[in-house]
Amino acid sequence: MDPIRLALESGADIAGVARVGPLREKGAIEPTLLPSAKTVIAIASAHSRTALASSNLQVRQYDTISTYENVRMVADRIVKRLERLGHEALSVPAFIPIDMADGKFGMVGALDHRAAAVAAGIGSYGRSGLLLTREFGPRVRLGSVLTSWDGDFAAPAPFSLCLEDCRACLEACPPRALLGEGKIDKTKCGRTIFQYGLRRVIRFIGEMTEGDPAKRRDLLKGFTLRELWQNFMAGNYYYCFECQSVCPVGAHPRDQGSERRKPYNGSKAEIISKRRQVHGQEGIRAGDEEETDQ
């Protein structure tokens, strides 16, 4: 049985295998996850490049839903086939459900899919902290299947796909959450991507509880509740994809000159105007205006 072939036949765009032992030692796998596991099958499902490069937010969100859905279906097919062959196998959530307990707060996955993907040789870390793949760059969603299957395979040689003199992701990040060499200010990123996520729900409930009747009526009819409702229904709540969409690695040559990508290759003033357009005043850092080159 070739697990990589099995994964590709199950619909993965990219797949690789790694030993579980070293990942467990690094703390990349929550100990309660299939203690008998010997191997992790790392899978990647590609976004649509066109959708991620679109200036329409809903199109980017919809493509994210489809890509996560594909990861889930592919992993499920792999699990069923491994179980039919007599092995234990477990698909680990690609994002949610995730442990929301105090101390973790939904910020630590049961399995670190990027670490598994790097160990399996399907890509390398980029300066953005994301996994870069040869064909799609960071435009992939990752999944992992843990299995008791314990066959022979060669460990991949380490490599790096991140371009030496590139800082496109750092420049494009609206709240400047990317600090270089894969370091990220998670609070800043979270504030941007989860604009209508849990924090907004908490704020909304607080405003409803404390507001006078007129304010409560306005809140019930307002954009915030409509948007929160839509996010609950759709299961998507991301509002930023810049570090995925601007990376030149795996970008189609055609995308390099597209209208959407231009601001980030252009002047500081254009970058700031793009930030304001996508993220309002929150995307503008103190001192940004003075830094404009116009």
| The two three-digit tokens of residue 51, written as one number | 């959708």
Are the beta carbons of 174 and 243 closer than 8 angstroms? no
Q: Give me the least distance between CB of 109 and ligand SF4, in Å please.
A: 16
- Strand order across the beta sheet in which 89-92 lies: 14-19, 39-46, 140-147, 89-92
Q: Does 7 bind ligand B12 (CB under 6 A)?
A: no
Tell me the sheet residues that pair with 15: 43
Q: Are 64 and 238 in contact (CB under 8 A)?
A: yes
The answer to whether residue 13 forms part of the interface with ligand B12 (CB under 6 A) is no
Residue found under tokens 């254009």? 270
* Opening angle at CA 127, ends 125 and 128, nearest 5: 90
> What tokens does 253 get?
């040559």
CA 86 to chain CA centroid, nearest Å: 33
Regarding 112 and contact with ligand B12 (CB under 6 A), the answer is: yes
From candidates 141, 191, 261, 279, binder to ligand B12 by CB under 6 A? 141
Question: Residue 278, interface with ligand SF4 (CB under 6 A)?
Answer: no
Q: Which two structure tokens, joined as six digits, stand for 31?
A: 């100990």
Note whether 122 and 50 are within 8 A (CB): no
- Which of the ranges 110-118, 167-175, 258-266, 269-277 carries the binding residues for ligand SF4, by CB under 6 A? 167-175
- Segment contacting ligand B12 by CB under 6 A, of 13-21, 108-116, 221-229, 285-293: 108-116
The secondary structure of the chain in percent helix, strand, coil, rounded to multiples of 5, reads 45, 15, 40
The Cα 16–Cα 123 span in angstroms is: 10
Site track 122-141 with ligand SF4 (rule: CB under 6 A), x = hit: ----xxx---x---------
For residue 264, the partner it binds in ligand SF4, ligand B12, none, with Cβ less than 5 to 8 A by kind, is: none
Q: Which residues are 133's β-sheet partners?
A: 137
Query: At its nearest, how many Å lie between ligand SF4 and the CB of residue 194?
Result: 10
CB of 182 to ligand SF4, least distance (A): 9
Give least dist CB 123 to ligand SF4, A: 11
Is 245 among the residues that bind ligand SF4 (CB under 6 A)?
Answer: no
**Owner of token pair 């579980």:** 20
Pairing of strands 140-147, 39-46: antiparallel
Return d(Cα 18, Cα 154) in angstroms, integer.
Answer: 9
Q: Which of residues 170-189 bind ligand SF4 (CB under 6 A)?
A: 173-175, 177-178, 184, 189
Say whether residue 116 binds ligand SF4 (CB under 6 A).
no
Q: Does 189 bind ligand B12 (CB under 6 A)?
A: yes
Q: Is 240 in the site for ligand SF4 (CB under 6 A)?
A: yes
Binding residue (CB under 6 A) for ligand SF4 from 110, 117, 122, 247 = 247
Residues at the site binding ligand B12, with contacts judged by CB under 6 A: 94-95, 98, 107-109, 111-115, 125, 128-131, 138, 140-142, 181-182, 184, 186, 189-190, 193, 238, 240-241, 243-244
Residues at the site binding ligand SF4, with contacts judged by CB under 6 A: 126-128, 132, 162-163, 166-169, 173-175, 177-178, 184, 189, 192-193, 240, 242-243, 246-249
